[in-house]
Structure 1
Amino acid sequence: MLSLFNKISQNEWRFVLLMGLLSRGIIIITMIWIAPLLFNPSEGNVVNFGWEVFSAWDSPLYQQIATNSYDTSGSEPGANVAFFPLFPLLIRLGIFFGFSANIVGIVINNTAFFATLLVVYVWVKKTNGGLAARWVIALLAWCPLSIFGTVIYTEGLFLLLSSLALLTFESKKYTQTMVWGVLATATRITGLALIPTFFFIAWRKKLPFMAYIAALVSGGGTLLYSLYCWFHFNDPIAFITVQYTQWQRKQGIDWEGWGQMLAEITVGGENWAAGTLNDPWHPFLFLLIMVIAYGLWHYRLSVPKVYFDYSLCSLCLFLWLLSGDALLNTLSVLGGLVLLWCCRQRLSLVAYVYGLCALGLLLSSGGTISLNRLAYGIVSLSIALGITVSRSPRWGYCTLGFFGLLLVTFSLRFAQHQWVAITP
């Protein structure tokens, strides 16, 4: 991996690190200094002070695994079995050397996140040029879901390992692909999307037999964890079983959850919950935004480009103000599919196929919980978005401004133990 960093010039290093440091600085300032100022006990807000503020929701489960291993006390696997072992093992290693679990988790995730920015920059510069690479890194760093690359979660680690697996496979360094693939599939189940990606690319490009071996071996991390679950719980897919038994996930696509999110966008959550038109303004405003957007698009050749761009950006902002989190969650997956399709000619085949496989895995996961966060862990989506806005900088600057606003609000929500990765 160190050989990759030698391909980055001093100015490129500065840009990548600047994007990472500025965005992490906003998160840290918001969570450590601003969130406590907004603390209001009468509203039931909870704000931890100090480094504990970076541990909430899933974070304590990772720390619990690191200190006490998986819950094997009962006849059924505990809820923490759903979390894959590599990140907790790294935390345990840090604890062995005398550091606290909080500090180790933060350092691992942030270090991996910064390394991801450098790896992705090298990759995109190689395939799409320096301008596209800079936009990709800016969006990857400032995306509001990048907060999970700073708190005690696996986003930074998984992004790094999956990006390295994809890059080394594209470079035909199959031994390295196997190493990074095993580590990625030991970090998160969505790493399994690497296997069909590599098999398809190997078949499509008529690669040597070693490429097929690399594709197969890449799933070794999940295989090893599956053997662990088989031994302790007599269930090789216990990490999936607990999601159905304890998290109420459904088999296949969660049509009900998707229907609810789409209804919240179009007719409004209040109307959907009541089953009647209690709030007629929501569907009216949604239709109005759609009509104006269609009119702008239809007459786009008659409207100056600058007015067209800023008008559409304004309509997107109004739609978010109207629909809120349901819109962001839906766009993360369905919008991601559209984005990949539109960029298929400009993306490398490895990034394109991996994006489709990973999104397909999310769609068939049986739930809509945390889809926006999990979609952020698919590096192909950030690459596709960065390449797209590099061709229209106005959209890029508007997107960065919107991302910055959401990054602050998401940081506040996480610090106050409010749900950030949206569920309907």
Structure 2
Amino acid sequence: MWLVSRLVIIVAMQVVAPLMYKSAVHPYWQPPYPLDYIPGFFPQPSWELFSHWDGKWYRSIAVEGYNYANDGNQHSVAFYPLFPLISRGLMMFGLPFEVAGTVVNNLFFLAALILVYSWAKERHGINVARWTTAVMAWCPFSLYGTVIYTEGLFLFLTTAGLRAFDRRQYVWAAVCGALASATRATGITLLPTFIFVAWQEKRPLTAYIAGLCVPLGLISFSLYCAITFKDPLAFVHVQKAWAQPSWWYIFNDAISVGKDSLIKVVMVFGGGYMLWCLRTHLSKTAVVYGFCSLLLIIFSGALMSVSRYAYGIVSLSLALGWLFSAQNRWGYLILTWFAILLFSYSFNFTIWNWVA
């Protein structure tokens, strides 16, 4: 599943896009341009194609370090440190950032698929495990498990943390939780998940301690910002530089059958409805984490990439995998549609069109 789905992405990005564009690409958006975009760009087969959009920010962090000023402009401090730190470590072996970042994300995404397969098999049997793996691998937003983004690392850490907590391995759950909160803001939702499940299931004190360890990654980043930029919440304050749509706009656009907005609504609110319907079939840990993550996404205000953030909630893949295992025909049909969209999203990402 991992290999074939990644080959679809590679063919779209490294073969089809360069063949179709022998002259400059003209994306649909206007200036200001994203970081490191050069007008007149046309795609050529290279590792650079994997580093568009957020990848350029992670490159800036890995190569030059963080920058920030409270001037209303975009700065790299908006991006959490663990992924560029690991990429920087791999660069010490002589790899350029574009290679290191791509390798890191892909290997962690493969590890996440293996973990979610194992977890689903333990809880629900091999059929659900296979479908869950297929959903995670072929969802069009799994593109971000191959290009230089944090999806692979984040899915691995959150899946490992949730599975460890489910198995009462609290040290491993605490470590993965702390690392997840140093990878992306939504990693913090492991804290209420662990605390609530520990209370509901009357677990020992170590379960609560595991939950309280989750914010350590975020706190460490905040301390770094306080020492370096004299602002412990620099990573929060800088977010205002990125324009974000409102839910009012998204709902109106979805009603008008705006494709991107419709996908956002379906993934967030449809995903929440699916979790609620399957709450008795999935583990309590997965269900609580799913709802906590969806609530954070809904009220965070960072709605431009809400579809990608929803994909990063492993509980939704588990729920959809369980659903498809019971409805095979629908599963095959939707996975075919997923594969087509995965190819389309990969192509658009290559030519600097916004995907998620």
Structure-1-length-normalised TM-score: 0.78
Partner Cα separation in structure 1 for residue 242 and residue 8 of structure 2 = 33
Structure 1: any 5+ residue segments left out of the alignment? 1-18, 250-255, 269-321
Among 213, 230, 249, which residue is 1:234 paired with?
230
Counterpart contact for 2:254–2:265, Cα < 8 Å: no
Deviations 1:66-119, CA, capped at 9 Å, x for gaps? 1111014x4659521110000111111111221110110011000000001110
What CA RMSD, in Å, does the superposition of the two structures yield over aligned residues?
Answer: 1.5
Q: How does 1:42-191 map to 2 (within 5 A)?
A: 44=26, 46-72=42-68, 74=69, 79-191=75-187
Give the match's secondary structure for 1:41: coil
1:351 has 2:290 as partner: no
Counterpart contact for 1:186–1:222, Cα < 8 Å: yes
Identity %: 44
- 1:316 maps to none
Q: How does 1:208-357 map to 2 (within 5 A)?
A: 208-244=204-240, 246-248=241-243, 257-266=246-255, 268=256, 322-357=257-292
Partner Cα separation in structure 1 for residue 162 and residue 209 of structure 2 = 15
Structure 2: any 5+ residue segments left out of the alignment? 28-41
Please report how far the alpha carbon of residue 262 of structure 1 lies from its aligned counterpart in structure 2 after TM superposition: 2.0
Counterpart contact for 2:191–2:211, Cα < 8 Å: yes
Partner Cα separation in structure 2 for residue 234 and residue 338 of structure 1 = 43
Partner Cα separation in structure 1 for residue 159 and residue 171 of structure 2 = 15
Please report how far the alpha carbon of residue 261 of structure 1 lies from its aligned counterpart in structure 2 after TM superposition: 2.1
Please report how far the alpha carbon of residue 51 of structure 1 lies from its aligned counterpart in structure 2 after TM superposition: 1.3
Counterpart contact for 1:31–1:412, Cα < 8 Å: yes
Q: Which amino acid aligns with 1:265?
A: A
Partner Cα separation in structure 1 for residue 289 and residue 173 of structure 2 = 14
Please report how far the alpha carbon of residue 392 of structure 1 lies from its aligned counterpart in structure 2 after TM superposition: 0.6
- 1:386 maps to 321
Deviations 1:202-228, CA, capped at 9 Å, x for gaps? 110111111111100121100100111
Please report how far the alpha carbon of residue 234 of structure 1 lies from its aligned counterpart in structure 2 after TM superposition: 2.2
Partner Cα separation in structure 2 for residue 43 and residue 243 of structure 1 = 29
Partner Cα separation in structure 2 for residue 232 and residue 42 of structure 1 = 40
Structure-2-length-normalised TM-score: 0.93
Counterpart contact for 1:48–1:415, Cα < 8 Å: no
Number of residue pairs matched by the alignment: 341
Please report how far the alpha carbon of residue 248 of structure 1 lies from its aligned counterpart in structure 2 after TM superposition: 4.0
Partner Cα separation in structure 1 for residue 63 and residue 212 of structure 2 = 32
Question: Larger Cα Rg: Structure 1 or Structure 2?
Answer: 1
Counterpart contact for 2:274–2:319, Cα < 8 Å: yes
Stretches of 4+ aligned residues off by more than 6 angstroms: none
Deviations 1:237-290, CA, capped at 9 Å, x for gaps? 21111102x1145xxxxxx72222222232x2xxxxxxxxxxxxxxxxxxxxxx
Deviations 1:145-196, CA, capped at 9 Å, x for gaps? 0000000000000000010011101111111111111111111110000000
Task: Tell me whether 43-52 or 374-383 shows the greater mean CA deviation.
Answer: 43-52
- 2:310 maps to 375
